[in-house]
Amino acid sequence: MTTLTTIEIEPPYLLFIGDMDYELDAKTAFGIAHWRPELCLAQLRFGTEVDLGLPDMTPKDAVAAGARSLIVGVAPVGGSFPESWVESLLEAARSGLHIVAGMHTRLDQVPGLSEAATEGGVRLVDVRTPPTHIPVGTGVKRPGRRLLTVGTDCAVGKKYTALAIEREMHARGMKATFRATGQTGIMIAGEGVPIDSVVSDFISGAAEMLSPDNEANHWDVIEGQGSIVNPGYAGVTVGLMHGSQPDALVLCHDAARTGIDGWDGYDVPEMPTLIDLYLSMARLTNPAVRMVGISVNTSSLDRARGEAYLRELEDRMEMPCVDPLADGVGRIIDQLLPRAGT
């Protein structure tokens, strides 16, 4: 029987940043610190100014303060463990911290880490382990409602937006479930499917499994992955979209992003072009899909400039444009409610 990837992480957490000097590479740590702050005790970093706003602690200090798990909070391209991290991970395991990671390289492949875990009496938890026996997508329409966040690029707020939408739906008394598709989302939710670790033929089937038959008024809020215009990750985006069969799409964007991050020479297309691309692809499995709003990370702008940016974009695109953390997502959810006379 196929099940979701389910994990158990013992709190409190020591969030590992290591020597990563680019905030986007530490998005896992930032996401957990933002959405589960009550579980986060400290951060472990060396040679970097990337800062979660948590106390800096060594593994031994963290254990003395009550920490139970070290979460590898970085996700560099390629998903492997640099040699510069190994000694810190060994120290953490020997000190009695469970090690949790969402890298493509498995923890037991890190030299000496299995032995250190045995010495410390701790577990090695790999989040990027997809369920077994995933079926090929069927394309059969399922009962229930589905919203998928999509992006102008990677790391533009798809997870944050999905979590904010689920939270606002619950506040309104709506039935909704956040469906995690990446390592950070799975760490936050406790279950999900690491879509980028699924063999390509089965991505749409994994998405169908992730958001199964449900009540007619229940919303699955599905965390998007990659971008349809990213040269490296467009494949996972399309497979997830086809299997999700979304009734609604929310386009996510970073106001500071003009080019595809990490791919020189690739610009972010104009919003109308992107929206047309997403809708045309999504209509394969749900011809009635709608784009219901645009979610923008405006943290790179001061508040006045951010508000002006959103107003101009909304006037141009004729749909709600919000910063999910600064403004909330209520106006996007309003688009999902039955209209008068319908």
pLDDT in tens, 180-233: 999 999 999 989 999 999 999 999 999 999 999 999 999 999 999 999 999 999
Cα-based angle 325, 330, 333 (whole degrees, multiple of 5): 120
In this structure, the dihedral spanned by the alpha carbons of residues 271, 182, 159 and 151, taken in order and rounded to 10 degrees, is 0
Distance CA 33, CA 232 (A): 28
Q: Which CATH architecture has domain 5-126?
A: 3-Layer(aba) Sandwich (3.40)
Q: Which helix (H) or strand (E) holds 274?
A: helix 271-282
Q: What is the pLDDT of residue 48?
A: 87
- For the entire predicted model, the pTM comes to 0.89
Q: Name the residue with tokens 């784009």.
A: 291
Contacts of 221 (CB under 8 A, 6+ apart): 147, 149, 162, 163, 165, 166, 169, 176, 177, 178, 179
> What is the b/e burial string over 77-92, where b = at least 16 CB atoms within 10 angstroms of the residue's CB?
eebebeeebeebbbbb
Sign of the torsion angle spanned by Cα atoms 78, 73, 329, 301: negative
Ranking 74-78, 148-152, 239-243, 275-279 by mean pLDDT, the lowest is: 74-78
- pLDDT digit string (tens) for 268-327? 999 999 999 999 999 999 999 999 999 999 999 999 999 999 999 999 999 999 999 999
Task: Check the CA dihedral 232-235-241-243 and report its sign.
Answer: negative
Does residue 341 register a pLDDT over 50?
no
> How many angstroms separate the CA atoms of 128 and 106, rounded?
8
- Find the range with the poorest average confidence among 65-79, 157-171, 275-289: 65-79
Residue 29 has pLDDT above 90, yes or no: yes
φ, ψ dihedrals at 274, nearest 5°: -65, -45
Give the count of beta carbons closer than 10 Å to the beta carbon of residue 10. 15
Task: Name residue, tokens 């991050």.
Answer: 261
> How many Å apart are CA 232 and CA 184, to the nearest integer?
20
Q: For residues 16 and 75, give the distance between their C-alpha atoms in angstroms, rounded to a whole number.
A: 11
- Tokens encoding 90: 């060994």
3-state secondary structure of 303: helix
Q: Nearest Cα to 254, choosing from 302, 297, 294?
A: 297
Mean pLDDT lowest for which of 77-91, 119-133, 255-269, 320-334? 77-91
Is residue 97 a contact partner of residue 119, using CB atoms and an 8 Å limit?
A: no
Q: Where do the CATH 3.40.50.720 domains begin and end in the chain?
A: 5-126
User: With bands split at pLDDT 50, 70 and 90, how would you rate the model's confidence at 5?
Assistant: confident
Distance CA 182, CA 241 (A): 14
CA distance 220 to 142: 12
Burial grade of 243 (CB within 10 A; 0-12, 13-18, 19 or more)? buried
Rg (CA), the chain: 20
Residues 233/239/242/246 CA torsion (nearest 10 deg):
-50
Q: Which amino acid is at 324?
A: P
Q: What is the pLDDT of residue 115?
A: 96
Tokens of 147: 């919203």
Domain boundaries for CATH 3.40.50.300 within the chain: 145-334
pLDDT at 143 over 70: yes
Q: Class of 145-334 per CATH?
A: alpha beta
